[in-house]
């Protein structure tokens, strides 16, 4: 996977290289918050065996850049790293890794939560769930990056 801070691809996700990549900001950071989204072995009462993720990768990178810009507006000074995986993922593997760094923990926590909420709202990524007895495409949010209400909801959750 690219060493870029914003990326999507098939490589296994690791949080530590992302923490290193986001850097220490010459000692000015007071907080780094990390989030790993994992493949869970159950969903809606089904026993999940594995997931397949698919993305529209060039658009996904643009969406990650958009989320980065939204965070820079809402929480000035916060830095974001965001990697999403695609392909077949086994139970317990990480599908998404997010790191935020800031002078203060409140901004780092809030922006990290905001980033995952926005990924779920507008990133062009889909998971196909394989479970005991079948498989199904999971369809969540109707993706509209200009939907101000969705953005406000992500911010509300992030700051709750």
Partner 1 sequence: MTVRLFARLRDIAGAAEFVKDAAPGDTIGSIWRQLVADYPELGSYERSISSALNADYARMDQLLRDGDEVAFLPPVSGG
Nearer to partner 1, 101 or 116 (CB): 116
Q: Which residues contact 89 (CB under 8 A, 6 or more apart)?
A: 39, 50, 51, 52, 53, 95
Collapsing DSSP to helix, strand or coil, 23 comes out as coil
Question: Judged by CB, which is closer to partner 1: 30, or 58?
Answer: 58
Work out how close the CB of 68 gets to partner 1 at its nearest, in angstroms, rounded to a whole number: 16
Strand, helix or coil at 132? Answer: coil
Min separation Cβ 146 and partner 1, Å: 8
Which of residues 104 and 156 has its CB atom nearest to partner 1 in the complex? 156
Q: Choose among 30, 24, 158: nearest CA to 104.
A: 30
Q: Name the minimum Å distance from CB 122 to partner 1.
A: 7
Q: Which residues bind partner 1 (CB under 8 A)?
A: 37, 53-56, 58-60, 62, 84, 95-96, 116, 119-128, 137-146
Which residues neighbour 147 within 8 Å (Cβ) at sequence distance 6 or greater?
121
Residue 131, H or E segment: strand 125-131
CB of 17 or CB of 124, closer to partner 1: 124
- State the Cα–Cα distance between residues 13 and 97, nearest whole angstrom: 7
CB of 128 to partner 1, least distance (A): 7
Residue 128: strand pairing partners: 52, 137
By beta-carbon proximity to partner 1, the closer residue of 28 and 138 is 138
Q: Report in angstroms how near the CB of residue 129 gets to partner 1 at its nearest.
A: 9
13 DSSP assignment = P
């Amino acid at each position: 996977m690219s060493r870029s801070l914003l990326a999507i691809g098939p490589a296994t996700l690791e949080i530590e290289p992302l923490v290193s990549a986001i850097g220490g900001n010459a000692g000015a950071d007071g907080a780094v918050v990390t989030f790993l989204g994992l493949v869970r072995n159950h969903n809606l009462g089904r026993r999940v065996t594995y997931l397949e993720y698919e993305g529209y990768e060039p658009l996904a990178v643009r969406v990650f850049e958009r989320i980065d810009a939204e965070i820079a507006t809402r929480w000035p000074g916060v830095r974001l790293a965001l990697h999403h995986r695609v392909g077949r993922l086994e139970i317990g593997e990480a599908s998404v890794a997010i790191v935020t760094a800031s002078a203060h923990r409140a901004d780092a926590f809030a922006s990290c939560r905001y980033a995952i909420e926005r990924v779920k709202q507008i990133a062009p990524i889909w998971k196909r769930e394989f479970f005991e007895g079948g498989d199904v495409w999971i369809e969540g949010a109707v993706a509209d990056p200009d939907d101000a209400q969705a953005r406000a909801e992500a911010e509300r959750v992030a700051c709750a």
